[in-house]
Chain A
Amino acid sequence: MPKLSVRNLTKRFPVSDGPSMLALDGVDLDVEEGEFIAFVGPSGCGKTTLLRIIQGLETATSGDILIDGKPARGPGHDRGFVFQQYGLLPWLTAAQNIGFALEAKGVPARQHGDITERVLATVGLKGFGDRFPHQLSGGMQQRVGIARALAIEPDMMLLDEPFGALDALSREILQNEMLGLTERMGKTVLFVTHSVDEAVCLADRVVVMSPRPGRIRDIVPIDIPRPRARLGEALRDTPEYSAKRQLLWNQLMELV
């Protein structure tokens, strides 16, 4: 049984003057346990909308989300979400932001300290728990967001362009860390990105979406063996990497 099934999902947004906007149209997708899925597609093709519906932040107009075969209604602690921007509460420190998710999940307060320290160390932010978000760089803030999602020990991580607002260098560093992290943990990951590069490096399968209306255009498997993290830069020299990168690039160019 797939970890996650998206069945014939449709989302219409009402538009104040004129016909409603069809953001997703008949989206079908099965994701296996432990799989890393990347979503790419032109702006406005419904990637964020799809992720938000799976997380339960938005309701579908029709269709179903099944997790372990059971219909998911609304958010759950089994899913950890990482936002693209404004993902941290600015009036809470890094540790308190993580504590927020733990408290929401009902983890006893006396365990918060240990868990927070552990997940901050996992994302390379040991000792930064007392900082407020504005005292952290953009890349560090995203790490805190990832740490918070890890803290609740979800089965599934949903990340909406988590590195989209970062400079190229921070982005590459975080990509590599993400690779190491997910390969160690074996969690199911749904990852939205604008970058073909990022998608090919990280994913087992890349879902290509097309806009107006938002549909799945193609699903491209990436057969680079794991663990990929130890390959480092050599990952980008593999023939599979260049082939899939080229293929995805061509598909995206046709769509815009």
Chain B
Amino acid sequence: MQRSAQPGTASKNAVDPLAEPDPRRQKRRERILQIGTLVLLLAAWEFAAHDANKLLVAMPSDIALATWDLLVSGELLWATLDSMSTFVLGFVIASVLGIVIGFAMGTNRTVEVILDPYINALYAMPLVALIPILMLWVGIGFLAKITIIILFAVFPVIINTVTGVKNVDKHYLDIGKAFMASRAMVYRKIIAPYAMPYVASGLRIALGRGIIAMIVAEFLTSISGLGGLIINYTNAFETAKAFAPVLVVAVLANALTLLVQKVEARFGRWRRR
């Protein structure tokens, strides 16, 4: 990006395209740009919200104070734990289920033919529409939340796993065949590592959808967790406090994505950088 020489952009601090930029300095420069932009945005928000209706918009400084209050009272922590324990359990079940179903579909044509239409239809449809009916079956408690998270998160894992497993390079399968590797070895040492990057990107999509599911579930079933805080404080017109859990959700979503990427990188050491 930094090397693009489009007219009108960065003409003053354009770098010599042939010189290798010092990566550390480059990185620092980019960080400063990002932090600077954030500070500017917050300042503009603070300024604009100063004269606005306090019920509708909160100033960043108010949000910071409200977040502090909620932290000190422990309310935010408990809500986060509540949400996260539900989310992590749902996400783990969805991941395992998705990988197992994806492997079965990718390696067995019969299973694929039977399941494929439903998987595709459910992945494409707005699953929120199912939630009221689902609540008839599983109630509005913990089980309902877990079910909703799994429902949202499982399909991208299945679909990506199937793609990865079915795409396995024939050359690699030939190696297994030539040396008479057992079925288990072919799964473990050829198909699984090959499909790994596909599975990982499925997990990343599932993470985003799972967090949406978590908040939606907390809005629609028994009101609790971070989603519950948002609903309750909005209804109480404590707008600044409603922003605090939103902030936490944003930070958590990013932290979890980073974690999945780290795990992915750990398993992808064999790839060329």
Chain A positions within 8 Å of B, measured between CB atoms, are 55-57, 75-77, 81, 83, 85-92, 100-101, 103-105, 132-134, 148, 152
In the complex, chain B residues 192-208 whose Cβ is within 8 Å of any chain A Cβ: 193-194, 196
Contact with A along B255-273 (1 / 0, CB 8 A): 0000000000000011110
Among B9-17, B35-43, B171-179, the one that faces the other chain is B171-179
- Bound CA span A192–B226, Å: 66
Chain B residues with CB under 8 Å of A86's CB are 169, 171-172
Chain B residues with CB under 8 Å of A89's CB are 172, 175, 189-190, 193
Which of B174, B176, B185 has the most chain A CB atoms inside 10 A of its CB?
B174
Is the beta-carbon distance between B177 and A76 smaller than 8 angstroms? no
Which of B175, B176, B189, B269 has the most chain A CB atoms inside 10 A of its CB?
B175
Q: Closest approach, in angstroms, between the C-beta of A97 and any C-beta of chain B? A: 9
Q: Closest approach, in angstroms, between the C-beta of A102 and any C-beta of chain B? A: 9
Q: Interface residue count for B (Cβ, 8 Å)?
A: 22
Chain B residues with CB under 8 Å of A132's CB are 269-270
Which of B176, B182, B270, B272 has the most chain A CB atoms inside 10 A of its CB?
B270
**A-B pairs with beta carbons under 8 Å apart, 14 shown:** A57-B174, A57-B177, A75-B177, A75-B179, A81-B179, A83-B178, A86-B172, A89-B189, A89-B193, A91-B193, A103-B181, A104-B176, A104-B182, A105-B180
7 closest Cβ pairs, A-B complex: A86-B171, A104-B181, A91-B193, A91-B270, A81-B178, A104-B179, A101-B179
- Bound CA span A55–B171, Å: 14
Is the beta-carbon distance between A100 and B181 smaller than 8 angstroms? yes
Q: Closest approach, in angstroms, between the C-beta of A85 and any C-beta of chain B? A: 7
> What number of A-B contacts does a CB cutoff of 8 Å give?
63
Which residue on chain A has the smallest CB distance to residue B196?
A91
Chain B positions within 8 Å of A, measured between CB atoms, are 169, 171-172, 174-182, 185, 189-190, 193-194, 196, 269-272
With A81-B178, A83-B171, A89-B190 given, name 16 new contacts (CB 8 A): A56-B177, A56-B178, A57-B177, A75-B177, A75-B179, A83-B175, A87-B171, A89-B189, A90-B270, A91-B270, A100-B179, A100-B181, A100-B189, A101-B179, A103-B181, A103-B185
- Bound CA span A115–B180, Å: 19
- Bound CA span A100–B178, Å: 11
Is the beta-carbon distance between B174 and A104 smaller than 8 angstroms? no
- Bound CA span A89–B171, Å: 9
Interface of B, secondary structure class, is helix
Is the beta-carbon distance between A134 and B193 smaller than 8 angstroms? no
Which of A55, A75, A133 has the most chain B CB atoms inside 10 A of its CB?
A75
Q: Closest approach, in angstroms, between the C-beta of B129 and any C-beta of chain A? A: 41
- Bound CA span A133–B270, Å: 8
Interface of A, secondary structure class, is loop
Is the beta-carbon distance between A76 and B180 smaller than 8 angstroms? yes
Which residue on chain B has the smallest CB distance to residue A55?
B178
Is the beta-carbon distance between B189 and A92 smaller than 8 angstroms? yes
Which residue on chain B has the smallest CB distance to residue A152?
B179
- Bound CA span A103–B180, Å: 10
- Bound CA span A204–B117, Å: 59
Chain B residues with CB under 8 Å of A105's CB are 179-180
Chain A residues with CB under 8 Å of B194's CB are 91
Chain B residues with CB under 8 Å of A103's CB are 181, 185
Chain A residues with CB under 8 Å of B193's CB are 89, 91
Q: Closest approach, in angstroms, between the C-beta of A153 and any C-beta of chain B? A: 13
- Bound CA span A104–B184, Å: 10
- Bound CA span A129–B193, Å: 19
Chain B residues with CB under 8 Å of A56's CB are 177-178
- Bound CA span A22–B180, Å: 28
- Bound CA span A55–B177, Å: 9
From the candidates B175, B182, B185, B196, name the one contacting A87 in the complex (CB within 8 A): B175
From the candidates A57, A88, A90, A91, name the one contacting B178 in the complex (CB within 8 A): A57
Is the beta-carbon distance between B171 and A75 smaller than 8 angstroms? no
- Bound CA span A148–B177, Å: 14
Q: Closest approach, in angstroms, between the C-beta of B171 and any C-beta of chain A? A: 4
Q: Closest approach, in angstroms, between the C-beta of B169 and any C-beta of chain A? A: 7
Chain B residues with CB under 8 Å of A148's CB are 179
Chain A residues with CB under 8 Å of B171's CB are 83, 85-87
Q: Closest approach, in angstroms, between the C-beta of A235 and any C-beta of chain B? A: 31
Which residue on chain B has the smallest CB distance to residue A101?
B179
- Bound CA span A53–B272, Å: 34
Q: A86-B172, A92-B189 are in contact. Are A134 and B271 (CB under 8 A)?
A: yes
- Bound CA span A92–B193, Å: 9
Q: Closest approach, in angstroms, between the C-beta of A171 and any C-beta of chain B? A: 21
Which of A100, A101, A104 has the most chain B CB atoms inside 10 A of its CB?
A104
Which of B172, B178, B181, B185 has the most chain A CB atoms inside 10 A of its CB?
B178
Chain B residues with CB under 8 Å of A152's CB are 179
